[in-house]
Structure 1
Amino acid sequence: MQSPSLRTPNMISNQFFKYVQLLHEKYTRKPEYNLFSVLRSESDEVRLHSRFLADLLNPNGSHSHHDTFLKLFLKRLKESLQVELTQEVTVDTEYKNIDILIRSGKTAIVIENKIYASDQDKQLSNYYQKMKDEGYKNIKLIYLTRTGYEPSDQSTKELPDKVKEKDLTLVSYEHDIYDWVTRCTEIAARDAPLREACIQYLDVISKITNKIESQDHMDKLKALLLTDNNMARLPDLFSAYNEILTDLQLDIWNKIAEGMKREFGELCDNSVTIQDFPRDLVRNYVENKRSSKYHNINVKLDGYKKTYILVEQDHYIYFGIHCKNGSTSQEYKDIAKKTKNFINSYRWSSMPIAIHAEPQINFKNLTPENLSYLAIEANRQSYADFIVNMLKEITVTLKQQS
């Protein structure tokens, strides 16, 4: 007989969520060693995902299964892609900045791999034109994302409407890539190294898509939602969830803003917290609206021209010094030299020093652990304090070496 704690609740209540938690604990596998996660960030589009996928797709890849995996991939997308590769196939990564490029005869398949990075201006349009300029007649565009969403208008604004309708295919890691690699794993059953690599890669996909792997787990959740009209209340829960995420992220921005004003003075006019409707801006980001943009808080850096103390969000939150005149300016070179000994720091085109906030949280793909952390006010304060204190160390270092 089923224990009372596991009986399906009759309404959405605390017991409903307790039941969901029990299912999660029962079916979620404990973290296992994963070589992909050890060697690369799970969101590394180029050096992890594109390279691994390209090798599987390549008939001359190290898997030694010739074109078997490529044919499986094309078969899965047959209805939308409508292409057959009858001549010799080449597969490249980062050819003219294209993540994965498959070529055969007069056919070119461009795969744009987007996990968390934003679209660049005319990105898909430019890739299409590059292939057209090289003489390819049959050009297919695959836009690969975690859940299969559409590219931005910014990326496709110069693509002909006919190309958007017939030659652009949306592909998801959550379903398309996961199911395809699962089939590859079955084929590689007798090849232990390849089989294990595919299994570990499937685990990476599950993490970046928050995918439920157990069918029993999924079946029980579906049954729970279909009980007593529970599913009809889900839109309310989704709305409340987005509102909570907005509350938490806005609170972090306010805490960062308070610390920066206290330590460095007045915020610049484009800082998110002093806009007319900061909550709306944060909500747009949470809801992934096309009009949304990354947020920042910045303060003019004393003693420098066109140089700012900056905190910015690009899925992750990072901070440091921003030089508007770029990496060729004397100020950039001066700051880079003075801050070269900061550990875990980066140097980008307009930032002589940049550091990721700790813990590193991807606000576009919040894990259960992230959500538990952010729900505690003291953790949000600690997160903001880390940023402000590190910025203070940077500015003190710049003053001491003046």
Structure 2
Amino acid sequence: MQPLIHRAALLRAELHRPPAFNLFTLLRSSSDEVRLHSRYLAFLLNPQGAHGAGTKLLQLLLAALNIEGFDCTEVTVEVEYRNVDILIRNSKRQAVIIENKLYAADQDAQLHRYLQTLQGEGCQTYPPLYLTLDGRDADRRSCLGIDYQRISYANDILPWLEQCQQWVIREAGVRESLLQYIDLVATLTFQNQGHAYMDALKQTLRQNNNLLVVRDLQKAFVETLKDLQLEFWQALAQCIKDKYPELPKPSEAPTAEVVDRYYSATRDNRWYGLYYDLGFVQGSVYIELDHRFYCGYYCDAQSHPTAHAWLATLTQNVVNNGVGSGGLLWRYTTELNMKNPSDEDLMVLNEPVKRAQAVERMADDLYGLWGEARALYAAQG
């Protein structure tokens, strides 16, 4: 095993390309679905956009996705229209819905609801486009049996972006931004390494019994991720206890069994975490995991309607990334992706200092939500 790992380490040092400067990640989170990806994609798809390519970029995507019959004259492209990530419509009332999902969880009846909304407005709709990094299926609770088209950043958006380059070459600012965005998408989809590095690794794997060793290493990698995640949860709980002793003990906390299930193929293996009762009113603050960590409020509306209504009002005045199926806010609290961690994520998980910094930021975010609710409760007497 040692010669294989040693050889791979040498190849990485020699041929692996570290992340280059990228203006998008400097200004925004690389996984900001709405304010980065949806807005930039909508800009490219908008025939009136400053890219100067007219309808060509939109036509290229429609052709790549085999969407036929859509009239590209008098087109409008909107972001977050009735919560639809990207909506493309024309004067003939034809509509293309794009649901952009990098890491966020599907909401109940989400795709189904968007389709009904547009059809209710008299639009002729195509099957919604469900856009993810790797082309995964939508949750059945989101689509409720409707027909939809799976597309991915890796296999659909990245090739389309590369096609777009020749059509924006005269607009220097757009050309450079497109190059940066292509680099960002390639990084997110693990396609940012040159052929030399991958070819050298493949040749190494074909030597001796290295393929068998790699299969063992793959299993060990997943098992190590389980250990690191459980240690991360434990460190987070300890940080909250030490830094914010006024919070109660968590009413729920992840176990080794829960973390193990997260990396399995079973359904309903997400949405777990640390939950702390508010104490002064029914409900709780929490940090949960989908593929990324997020924090929010929880209260059962049926059991505690008054408290739920109070927290729902608070939700409208606190910065958030969205509202969950329970009607209360949630917002991301770290960039870590626990399902498909990037190189940077692995370094944070494995290096004590970086891990402690991430844990403390998350503890501060959770306490911030608790403090917002506590301050409003005190102000209302």
TM-score normalised to structure 2 length:
0.79
Quote the sequence identity (%). Answer: 30
- Cα deviation, 1:195-243, whole Å, max 9, x if unaligned, reads 2111000111123223233122232233333333533554433222221
Indicate the residue corresponding to 2:86 in structure 1.
100
Indicate the residue corresponding to 2:205 in structure 1.
225
In structure 2, give the amino acid aligned to 1:35. L
Counterpart Cα distance in 2 of 1:128 and 1:348: 20
Counterpart Cα distance in 1 of 2:250 and 2:172: 57
Describe the shift of the 1:383–1:49 C-alpha distance in structure 2 as closer, same or farther (beyond 3 A): closer
1:296 aligns with 2:273: yes
Indicate the residue corresponding to 2:345 in structure 1.
370
How does 1:2-401 map onto structure 2 within 5 Å?
A: 13-78=1-66, 81=67, 83-86=68-71, 88-93=73-78, 94-104=80-90, 105=92, 107-137=94-124, 139-159=126-146, 164=147, 168-228=148-208, 230-258=210-238, 263=245, 264-268=247-251, 271-273=252-254, 278-287=255-264, 289-302=266-279, 304-318=280-294, 328-329=309-310, 360-376=335-351, 380=355, 383-384=358-359
Unaligned segments of structure 2, at least 5 residues:
301-305
The answer to whether the 8 A contact 2:15-2:197 is kept is yes
Stretch of structure 1 that moved more, 67-76 or 232-241: 232-241
SS for the counterpart of 1:361 is: strand
Q: CA deviation at 1:42?
A: 1.3
Q: CA deviation at 1:306?
A: 1.0
SS for the counterpart of 2:126 is: strand
Describe the shift of the 1:111–1:28 C-alpha distance in structure 2 as closer, same or farther (beyond 3 A): same
The answer to whether the 8 A contact 2:115-2:125 is kept is no
Counterpart Cα distance in 1 of 2:321 and 2:108: 23
The answer to whether the 8 A contact 1:332-1:351 is kept is no
Describe the shift of the 1:25–1:193 C-alpha distance in structure 2 as closer, same or farther (beyond 3 A): farther
Describe the shift of the 1:330–1:382 C-alpha distance in structure 2 as closer, same or farther (beyond 3 A): closer
Stretch of structure 1 that moved more, 360-369 or 57-66: 360-369
Describe the shift of the 1:36–1:386 C-alpha distance in structure 2 as closer, same or farther (beyond 3 A): closer
Indicate the residue corresponding to 1:4 in structure 2.
none
- Cα deviation, 1:60-99, whole Å, max 9, x if unaligned, reads 2221111221222122222xx4x13345252422222211
In structure 2, give the amino acid aligned to 1:216. A
Counterpart Cα distance in 2 of 1:192 and 1:331: 46
Indicate the residue corresponding to 1:5 in structure 2.
none
Counterpart Cα distance in 2 of 1:382 and 1:131: 45
Counterpart Cα distance in 2 of 1:329 and 1:145: 35
Count of residue pairs brought into register by the alignment: 364
SS for the counterpart of 1:291 is: coil
In structure 1, give the amino acid aligned to 2:293. I
Indicate the residue corresponding to 1:6 in structure 2.
none
Stretch of structure 1 that moved more, 227-236 or 174-183: 227-236
The answer to whether the 8 A contact 1:242-1:287 is kept is no
Counterpart Cα distance in 2 of 1:395 and 1:56: 40
Counterpart Cα distance in 2 of 1:96 and 1:295: 29
Stretch of structure 1 that moved more, 54-63 or 218-227: 218-227
Q: CA deviation at 1:347?
A: 9.8
Q: Which has the higher contact order (CA 8 A, sep 6+)?
A: 2
Counterpart Cα distance in 2 of 1:112 and 1:320: 23
Indicate the residue corresponding to 2:303 in structure 1.
none
Stretch of structure 1 that moved more, 280-289 or 61-70: 280-289
